[in-house]
Amino acid sequence: MQNQPLTIAGRTFQSRLMLGTGKFASGDLMRDAIVASGTEIVTVALRRADLSGKGDPFANILDYIPKDILLLPNTSGAMNAEEAVRLARLAVAAGLPNWVKLEIHPDPRYLLPDPIETLKAAEVLVKEGFIVLPYINADPVLARRLQDVGTATVMPLGSPIGSHQGITTRKQIEIIITQATVPVVVDAGIGAPSHAAEAFEMGADAVLVNTAIAIASDPARMGIAFKMAVEAGRAAYEMGLAESSTEATATSPLTTFLYQS
């Protein structure tokens, strides 16, 4: 039996794995990883793309993304709402989709997202008809504020970008999942397939992975490893995992005496 598909803003995807495109050793390796991972949504930093429409051979990252993949432009590099909004508009003007992964991280050391600017930008972009997928810290109130504004997903981080620490924000993400009315995509910090599986077992709707696949010695093979982990974690969630317990089940029941006459 197949896992349920993922629906974002009315569009359906079979794969629940999103891929980032930074950090690969070459465009060819990136394309191979995209294909092998089965992903249907790929995010690209607009600052690395050619927005002039002149086909710059030295900024041709978009050429390596297969045409049937949904391109999700991201606003990485923007430090405030104004810059992010400007980038998103430019992307559309350059012929890219009106989907945007809203990323505003003014701190270049940990790349943690700015909640205030993100909310401000989301308000503007949603009003302008963009399909907004905001990258946020694992803050349940912010997640609710954003879904109230009309974002298509929320994308809480598991741990800082590129850190490979896994889901260190687990408790907060659990609250976000419980409250969400839009898909929850765990983004950042997923350094191993087991981290991805964990996100799905918790009930996340999708994950976004970049560094762990991009810097692997064989990115395509690592893409497959993540694909399997995503499918396994999601399948387990759909079936319902057995509750775990720290104690063994008592072999001699303690309350049967109640029913003995």
Positions in the binding site for other proteins (CB under 8 A): 22-27, 46-51, 56, 58-59, 77-79, 82-83, 86-87, 90, 106-110, 162-164, 211, 214-215
Q: How far is the CB of 189 from other proteins (least distance, A)?
A: 11
Phi, psi (deg, nearest 5) at residue 42: -130, 130
**Sign of the Cα pseudo-torsion (51, 99, 73, 225, in order):** negative
Q: What CA–CA distances, in Å, run from 21 to 34, 62, 74?
A: 9, 10, 11
Nearer residue to other proteins within complex by CB, 58 or 259: 58
Nearer residue to other proteins within complex by CB, 78 or 208: 78
Question: Per DSSP, what are the bridge partners of residue 187?
Answer: 157, 208
112: nearest Cα among 150, 180, 154, 162: 162
- Residue 66's Cα: distance from chain center in Å? 19
Bridge pairing between strands 70-74 and 6-8: unpaired
Q: How far is the CB of 131 from other proteins (least distance, A)?
A: 21
Q: How far is the CB of 175 from other proteins (least distance, A)?
A: 28
Residues annotated as catalytic (active site), given as ranges: 101
Nearer residue to other proteins within complex by CB, 124 or 182: 124
Q: What CA–CA distances, in Å, run from 30 to 64, 104, 162, 210, 256?
A: 7, 24, 17, 10, 61
Q: How far is the CB of 87 from other proteins (least distance, A)?
A: 6
Please tell me the total number of residues recorded for the chain in this structure. 261
Nearer residue to other proteins within complex by CB, 63 or 107: 107
Q: How far is the CB of 96 from other proteins (least distance, A)?
A: 13
220: nearest Cα among 71, 37, 17, 40: 37
Nearer residue to other proteins within complex by CB, 51 or 143: 51
